[in-house]
Amino acid sequence: MTDSDSRYYQPKNTKDAMRYVEGLFNKYKDAPLTDALMQYHRKLVYYLRTNVASEAVEEGYPDRQKKALAMADVMDQWLQAKLLGKPFTGKMQGFKMTSGQRTKYHVDQGRRKNRQKTIRKGRR
């Protein structure tokens, strides 16, 4: 491996490659759409559809091929939304899109304060 080859990321398997593409997508998904970003995005989608999907079948993981193709479809939807100027909330997690909102749990502090404290009898 020469010095020029060492600067490129070499995934160990298809799952590793998909995680890497997922991380890259999450980094640039909120950036303004430029020609360079659109070209880079299309290159990643092409990589998922051709290299990763075919390699997943060779590795013996047909379900991973389906996930890679579904991931590429979601990335295409992102591009369509960006081209139309629509907001695209959420992030890629687990090779699929999740909403940007998290579940918030609310604890009613008023009820907690008025609870009667338990009295423990000491054992001797």
Report d(CA 87, CA 33) in Å as an integer.
12
**Average pLDDT of span 118-124:** 63
Report d(CA 76, CA 33) in Å as an integer.
13
Report d(CA 45, CA 36) in Å as an integer.
14
Helix, strand, or coil here: 97? strand
Q: What percent of the chain has pLDDT over 70?
A: 75
Domain segments of the chain as ranges: 9-90
pLDDT tens sequence across 41-79: 999 999 999 999 999 999 999 999 999 999 999 999 999
Residue type for position 49 = R
pTM above 0.75, yes or no: no
Pick 100 or 57 by higher pLDDT. 57
Neighbours of 25 (CB within 10 A): 20
